[in-house]
Homo-oligomer: A and B are copies of this chain.
Amino acid sequence: MLGEFQLIARYFAPLAAGEPAALGLTDDAAVLAPPPGRELVLTADAMVAGVHFLADDPADQVAQKLLRVNLSDLAAMGAVPLGYLLTCCWPKATDEAWVAAFAAGLMADQKAFGLSVLGGDMTSTPGPLSLSLTALGHVAPGRALRRSTARAGDLVCVSGTIGDGALGLGVLTREWLGLPPEVAAHLAERYRRPRPRLALGQALSDSGLATACLDVSDGLVADLGHIAETSGLAAVIEAGEVPLSEAARSLVADDLELFPRALTGGDDYELCFTLAPERAGELPALAAALDLPLTLVGRMEPGQGVRVLDRDGAVLPLGRGGWTHF
């Protein structure tokens, strides 16, 4: 393993090459002129090998998941990405090729999402690889999307498809054998490499369409529960309306018990937002413009908690509310 300074110079300084604020990663801190007339949006997430990703996940995809789960938080606020700081605690046995692939994954995503590393820290650990990333974005003043601002009568909308991440984890832990390769590949990719819905978040902020918003990281039921709780409301999900990918549908068709997992498993990284019913007509054009399905799945009501209803209006029992990290 290279020393700390060589590691930074060889693999991480190139990630800062296009970003004057990073000062070449050779100073004590980054110095950034904030975009004039904008508010800053700041979020941080940690990931630990064996907890948030699998020890044999490809290094580039681990890096991209780390960056993207943070970008998904920026998306949930309607923010435009600005940069990030990264701390890595490397096990002594980490080989240099792994670090090189990790940095290559970041480089590819920096180009894809239009941001650069600003700073960070590299250290060693006697434990598993532990990563922490702080992402910065910006948003028009007063236009950040919140969780606590849903209103009774609002509809609930989700982007993309729900449950792929949780089922993808099952694929990667070999819970099912003999799946069609394209089904396994789709779900694994969805678990490993979330697609932060930045364009959607920004459009919802710009248009004022969303009354509340978050990203689905702990499972749709738990996360919609956060909107409900902070808004002082109840939420209802029509189970039959929840959009599943073809791959997820094929798995659920074989084992109906997997449907609750799709609704309560984590790692979707889709946006879930509420909107006034009279603006629902704007959804199809927005979905078309973004090339991203937007599906109405429920509504907000007076009360508290989240109920999931089947096609007959009966409450579906769910094993657990969602993923927590303890």
Q: Closest CB of chain B to A48's CB: distance in Å?
A: 5
A141:B326 contact, CB within 8 angstroms: no
* A215 lies within 8 A of chain B by Cβ: yes
Annotate A237-264 by CB proximity to B: 1 below 8 A, 0 otherwise. Answer: 0000000000000000000000000000
B126:A43 contact, CB within 8 angstroms: no
The CA of A44 and the CA of B127, in the complex, are separated in Å by: 20
The CA of A76 and the CA of B134, in the complex, are separated in Å by: 21
Closest B residue to A144 using CB positions: B31
The CA of A77 and the CA of B137, in the complex, are separated in Å by: 22
Q: Closest CB of chain B to A77's CB: distance in Å?
A: 5
Q: Closest CB of chain B to A148's CB: distance in Å?
A: 7
Q: Say how many copies of this protein the assembly contains.
A: 2
* A86 lies within 8 A of chain B by Cβ: yes
Annotate A27-39 by CB proximity to B: 1 below 8 A, 0 otherwise. Answer: 1111111100001
* A98 lies within 8 A of chain B by Cβ: no
* A316 lies within 8 A of chain B by Cβ: no
The CA of A3 and the CA of B326, in the complex, are separated in Å by: 6
A123:B325 contact, CB within 8 angstroms: yes
The CA of A233 and the CA of B324, in the complex, are separated in Å by: 52
* Chain B neighbourhood of A87, CB < 8 A: 44-46, 132
Q: Closest CB of chain B to A228's CB: distance in Å?
A: 12
* Chain B neighbourhood of A120, CB < 8 A: 44
A43:B26 contact, CB within 8 angstroms: no
Q: Closest CB of chain B to A235's CB: distance in Å?
A: 16
The CA of A23 and the CA of B230, in the complex, are separated in Å by: 11
